[in-house]
Amino acid sequence: MTEHQENGAGRLYGVGLGPGDPELVTVRAAALIGRADVVAYHSARHGRSIARSIAGPYLRGDQIEEQLVYPVTVESTDHPGGYRGALDEFYEEAAARLAVHLDAGRTVVVLAEGDPLFYGSYQHMHKRLAHRYPTEVVPGVTSVSAAAARLGTPLVEADEVLTILPGTLPEEELTARLAATDSAVVMKLGRTFPTVRRALERSGRLAEARYVERATMAGERTAPLDEVDPETVPYFSVAVLPSRIGRTSAESGQPAESGKSVAGEDTGEDTGEDAGEVVVVGLGPAGPLWLTPEARGELAAATDLVGYTTYLDRVPVRSGQRRHGSDNKVEAERAEFALDLARRGHRVAVVSSGDPGVFAMATAVLEAACEEPYRSVPVRIVPGMTAAHAAASRAGAPLGHDYAVVSLSDRLKPWEAVAGRLRAAAEADLVLALYNPGSQSRTTQVGLARDLLLEHRAPDTPVVMARDVGGPTERVRTVRLADLDPAQVDMRTILLVGSSQTQAVRRDDGTEVVWTPRRYPSA
């Protein structure tokens, strides 16, 4: 029995066959294969088709079979359009062959391993024919699901994110994406395997990675990925980074739980391992859009998070990960607490707003790490977007030429030192990025700095006032130096004071941009 349409046109089906085992073909797919007038499938020049072999038990034996043989399978060809040109020509010809059957009123089933629209060859027929003929896509079990089932471990749990990547991506791109995600599956291995392995190693994920070859098919193999010989890896294999939550639970034999503590409260049990470390992570000035892939990956990999509570609150809660929050005035104690955890085998991420090396936690951690008993604890610094650069991007390009960064806080240095540095920078005609300008207990520094700078700068020098950049209450505006009002400045504000060359220009759309020319007079 066939499924001819009332208007005489045939019907096109893209049928997913699952990962390889014929018993994983869906009931719907099996029925359509058995009823079809025409069954089409792709193959390489050798003529063997995995899709045809999976569908074999469901074929009637009297159906028309259209074998769509790829002209090339690697990126080398003498076609004038190159590899892409050869494939495009092939897809056009294959679609034309199927259109003949559809025009004749025949039902055409195009077989696809896995799911038809998941890295499948069928999609090229779909894009060329679905707008011309009645079409249905029948989903199939993907190799991703099959690999997870064969490994017997969850891919993702709770709020974890699964990333699916083609191994054909450049190594740098693979590395960044693997570092940033919770769980991942890398498809299309074969000749890409060495690149994928290096990306896993560079992202710090190699030890977690599992290898699955020909899941549910004859010759199936699973193994730790770092034990696999690259010479033995076929195209039909995947690399898997399973759920971190699942791995933690399996290793402990108990459900993973999330706890909270404050620095100074000893909640970190000895892990029994020697390979602890401290990673100081820059969160950027605001939310997740400002977080680098490297920083995201380090936060996910940590067993413990340590930091000022306000900054910890910006990091998503993960099952099994301990959080140690503290006040913003105990940097030294926080650093020592993190190093103590690392000495007991914990992988600790110390979180810091902006860039950890700019008036932030990197210095406190390194200062403690250079003293006994912490000199042997590994410490790494992961950079983040600085507040100055974030604010500058909102205003235009005020830091386009030489500039200096100065903290107006006099808690850790005398005001005389701050004033001397402001004066030197002003005399050198540098743009100034002023951090920590004021707080509830420090109300005089902005006014003092303004008056000092007015001795060297014109009253109409542009000053960018940027508050909560990237946050929900962001406000960025430009005022004249002479009009800078200390009452409108707090600890969440950064000030960018222009040089003698900095311009503030209102454009035709009404927006004002601030920029400092790269060329200096007489250059």
pLDDT band for 312, please (50, 70, 90 cuts): very high
Q: Which residues of 121-157 are buried (b: 16+ CB within 10 A; e: fewer)?
A: bbbbbbebbeeebebebbbbbbbbbbbbbbbebbbbb
DSSP state of 284: B
Only one residue has tokens 């011309």, namely 132
Dihedral pair phi/psi, residue 435, rounded to 5°: -90, 160
**pLDDT tens digits for 379-412?**
999 999 999 999 999 999 999 999 999 999 988 8
For residue 90, the SS3 value is: helix
277 strand-pairing partners:
347
What pLDDT is recorded for position 248? 52
Tell me the C-alpha distance between 317 and 324, whole Å.
12
Do the two domains 144-248 and 388-515 of this chain adopt the same fold? yes
Average pLDDT over residues 165-175: 95
Cis before residue 373, ω within 30 degrees of 0? yes
Tens digits of residue pLDDT in 80-109 = 777 788 889 999 999 999 999 999 999 999
The pLDDT value recorded for residue 274 is 58
* CA dihedral for 288, 289, 291, 297, sign (positive or negative): positive
Confidence of residue 44 (pLDDT cuts 50, 70, 90): confident
Q: Which residue has the higher pLDDT, 396 or 75?
A: 396
Q: Mean pLDDT over all residues of the chain?
A: 90
Please check the confidence at residue 251 and state whether its pLDDT lies above 60.
no
* Average confidence (pLDDT) over 227-237: 94
Which of 43-57, 264-278, 285-299 shows the lowest mean pLDDT across its residues? 264-278
pLDDT band at 262 (very low <50, low <70, confident <90, very high): very low
Write out the CATH class of domain 257-382: alpha beta
Identity of the amino acid at 434: L
What is the residue extent of each domain of the chain? 12-140, 144-248, 257-382, 388-515
Does domain 12-140 fall into CATH 3.40.1010.10? Answer: yes
> Which residues, at least 6 apart from 11, have a Cβ–Cβ distance to it below 8 Å?
3, 4, 5, 102, 107, 108, 133, 134, 135, 136
- Place 259 in a pLDDT band, splitting at 50, 70 and 90: very low
- How far are the Cα atoms of 228, 357, 390, 426, 494 from residue 468, in angstroms, in the given order? 49, 20, 10, 26, 9
CA 309 to chain centre: 24
Q: In this model, does residue 216 exceed pLDDT 60?
A: yes
Binning pLDDT at 50, 70 and 90, where does residue 230 land? very high
Q: CA 191, CA 73: separation in Å to the nearest integer?
A: 12
Neighbour order of strands in the sheet with 347-352: 260-262, 322-326, 304-308, 347-352, 277-282, 379-382
Strands (E), 153-249: 162-166, 183-187, 210-213, 221-224, 237-241
Predicted local distance difference test score (pLDDT) of residue 250: 45
pLDDT-derived band at 266, boundaries 50, 70, 90? low
DSSP annotation of 115 reads -
Residue 254, pLDDT > 70, answer: no
Could you tell me how far CA 392 lies from the centroid of its own chain?
A: 24
Q: What is the pLDDT of residue 411?
A: 84
- What's the pLDDT score for residue 80? 75
Q: Identify the DSSP state of 509.
A: T
Tokens encoding 55: 């569908």
Alpha carbon dihedral 243, 22, 45, 168, in 10-degree steps, equals: -10
**In this predicted structure, what is the pLDDT of residue 2?**
46
Domain range 144-248, CATH class: alpha beta
C-alpha torsion sign, points 277, 279, 280, 283: negative
Instruction: Report whether 68 contacts 47 (CB < 8 A).
Output: no
Residue scoring higher pLDDT (492 or 349): 349
Q: How far is CA 262 from CA 268, 269, 406, 407, in A?
A: 11, 14, 31, 28
pLDDT at 270 over 80: no
Strands (E), 178-326: 183-187, 210-213, 221-224, 237-241, 260-262, 277-282, 304-308, 322-326
Domain 388-515 listed as CATH 3.60.15.10: no
- Alpha helices, H only, 257-330: 293-301, 309-312
If we measure between CA atoms, which residue out of 282, 292, 2 comes closest to residue 175?
Answer: 292
pLDDT at 514 over 80: yes
Look at residue 152 and tell me whether its pLDDT is greater than 50.
Answer: yes
pLDDT tens profile 416-455: 999 999 999 999 999 999 999 977 777 799 999 999 999 9
Q: Using DSSP bridges, classify how beta strands 347-352 and 304-308 pair: parallel, antiparallel or unpaired.
A: parallel
Alpha-carbon distance values, 458 to 311, 426, 427, 461 (Å): 38, 11, 13, 5
* Mean pLDDT calculated for residue range 151-165: 93
Structure-block tokens of residue 472: 């929900």
Average pLDDT over residues 52-68: 96
Could you report the per-residue pLDDT of 326-348, keeping only the tens digit for each? 887 789 999 999 999 999 999 99
Residues 6+ apart with CB under 8 A from 414: none
Between CA 259 and CA 404 the distance in angstroms is: 42
Inform me whether the pLDDT recorded for 63 exceeds 90.
yes
- Predicted local confidence at residue 388, as pLDDT: 96
Helix (H, G, I), strand (E, B) or coil at 183: strand
Q: Does pTM top 0.85 for this prediction? A: no
* Mean local confidence (pLDDT), 35-48: 92
